Amino acid sequence: MIRSQRGDNQTRPQQTQLGQNNDTHVKPRLRRHPHHHSRRDPITLGNAIGYGIGDIYGGGQLTLIGTYLVLFWTRFCGMSISVAQSVVGLSAIISGVAALSFGILGDNLYRFPIGRRFGRRHLLLMVVPPLILVGILLWIPGLPFAVYFLVYILWVTVAQLFASAYNTLPGEMALGFDDRTKLSTVRLLISGAAGTLILLIGGGTLSVFGEHRPLGYMIFTIAITVCFALAVFICWKSTWEMSPEEAGFGQYAKINGSADRTNADNHRSMRAEAKLWRHRLAVMFHEYASTLRIAIFRRHLALYLLMLTAGDVFSQTFVFFVIYDWNKTAAFASLLLSCGIITVPLNPLFGAAMIKIGPKRMYQGSFAASIVGLLWLFAAWRLVGVMPEPWWTVFAVAGALFFFIAKAPSGYLPWAVFPFIADVDQVVSGKYRASTFSGIQAGFRQLVSGFSAIAVGAVLGFVGFDSSRHAQTALACNGLGALMIGWYALSIVVCIIVARRFNLDKHTDGIALAESARVASGGDPHDVDPSVRATLEDLTGQPYGR
């Protein structure tokens, strides 16, 4: 059913209209559905901004946590580096397991009255803002260790709840490749600007209040946390999603809205729904396993996990690297990271390049340039105290700027590519399962991030790193630098190999959509054109039409 509704532009509006005409009780519910619009309408810049504002939280919270949380905990909350990293890692693993449930939950909320009333994506977005505010407790010194641990588990779990709904919205709001790319581009532009602003505010605040006192950290982190909650609220009010009919759940709205049902019928319906939901939970892992059969998703997942985890490790160690290997301050490290703002105006160029030359070539260029950037940072490290200070500062800042520009496309692409993965899967499954893909992606992301955070803490603990000291041993400094630069370099090498077969672009996505529409209108998969078959089999990794 989802195949026909999504693949055939002529069928979809007719089905929605029939659903409204045949059941007068469905119409009031659709009016209460959050900002329902047609996916065929063009996406305006205002629509894209309303969507993109949500990533002030989605991307900004990663910047805030990755840059400052471990530093704050080790300096003001009595934790060692290994303990702090273990808390981050274990919490990420727990939230990764939760994210798997969120994916299935998000795709199936239209089965229940509350989902049909508030929206399957928007119901989840609606509960996020008040939960974000609990994160203020992370930035208050002197609390028991258990409070930091439990609140951080909640924090990262709420982030996954948000992501499971938010990442699906481009596919919910628009159908065309260009419109979805516009949404992703504006989103990442806003996210990049927010991340840079957080670093600028952080660096400026620490310069004023001092980086060895907790007050400066508390002022800006608590204020930013409140801004996160406000950003998600604005996104919730500004975006829309498929109606139950468009998503393939129209029959549930009709059953629930029938005026002549008795209370006993309603009770039986609820029991049937509960039984069905238990069944869905039982087959959850089968659903997720089926996503891994899609070849392009496996390649996307490898690139996504490797680059974002490398970025996590870089963020977690860069401030320490600047303080102890470059002999500079945390405020200088924040200002250096904020130089990443130079990449924000490039996001529209990335969007245009994605349409024109495709993700594969963009990935390859970004990886090659990133290797050069890492070598530049390494050279700056080895030249500390050798090159005259003014010259060294210019050299180091230039190296940081080059590295941020070089890695920017590889940070942009996973988010821009994700909305098209479900199009490829639809050829095989006949369903639009964006939230399921988002769930398993988020689950793996958190699991890998969790283990990497624990590994970072273990390595730094092994080499004797102690952030409470004003100076580190030579072994600790070398271990810190090797970890930050080496992890990123190794990730890039693997990504270069994977990206060689990443053939999803505007052309191949159009082929997948066209084939879904052809089959939905009654075409036989066995009659597929041989060139189309070859493209689909490369993307899906499975035989098609044979």
Coil, strand or helix at 227 = helix
Residue with token string 């119901």: 123
Dist CA 35 CA 31 (whole Å): 8
265 Ramachandran zone, left/alpha/beta (phi>0; psi -120 to 50) = alpha
pLDDT in tens, 103-135: 667 666 777 777 777 777 878 888 899 999 998
Dist CA 520 CA 12 (whole Å): 11
Looking at the structure of the chain, the number of domains it has is: 1
Q: Is residue 528 part of a domain?
A: no
**Can you tell me the mean pLDDT for 475-481?**
91
pLDDT in tens, 4-55: 333 333 333 333 333 333 333 333 333 344 445 655 567 788 888 888 888 8
Q: Is residue 531 part of a domain?
A: no
DSSP label of 321: I
Q: Is residue 32 part of a domain?
A: yes
State the pLDDT at residue 40.
Answer: 58
State the pLDDT at residue 108.
Answer: 67
Q: Is residue 83 part of a domain?
A: yes
Dist CA 320 CA 55 (whole Å): 27
State the pLDDT at residue 205.
Answer: 85
Q: Are 521 and 6 in contact (CB under 8 A)?
A: no
Q: Is residue 515 part of a domain?
A: no
State the pLDDT at residue 116.
Answer: 72
Q: Where are the alpha helices (DSSP H) in 321-358?
A: 330-338, 347-356
Whether 322 shows a pLDDT value over 80: the answer reads yes
pLDDT in tens, 72-91: 888 888 888 888 888 888 88
10 Å Cβ neighbour count for 21? 10
State the pLDDT at residue 312.
Answer: 85
pLDDT in tens, 238-280: 888 777 666 666 556 555 444 444 444 444 466 666 676 666 6
Band of the pLDDT at 363, cuts 50, 70, 90? very high
Q: Is residue 543 part of a domain?
A: no
pLDDT in tens, 412-449: 898 889 888 988 988 888 777 777 787 788 778 878 88
Q: Is residue 539 part of a domain?
A: no
pLDDT in tens, 179-234: 888 888 888 888 888 888 888 888 888 888 877 788 888 888 899 999 999 999 99
CATH number, position 211: 1.20.1250.20
Q: How does the average pLDDT of the chain come out, rounded?
A: 80
Q: Which domain holds residue 101?
A: 2-510
CA 458: distance to chain centroid? 26
Q: Is residue 522 part of a domain?
A: no
Q: Are 367 and 496 in contact (CB under 8 A)?
A: yes
Coil, strand or helix at 259 = coil
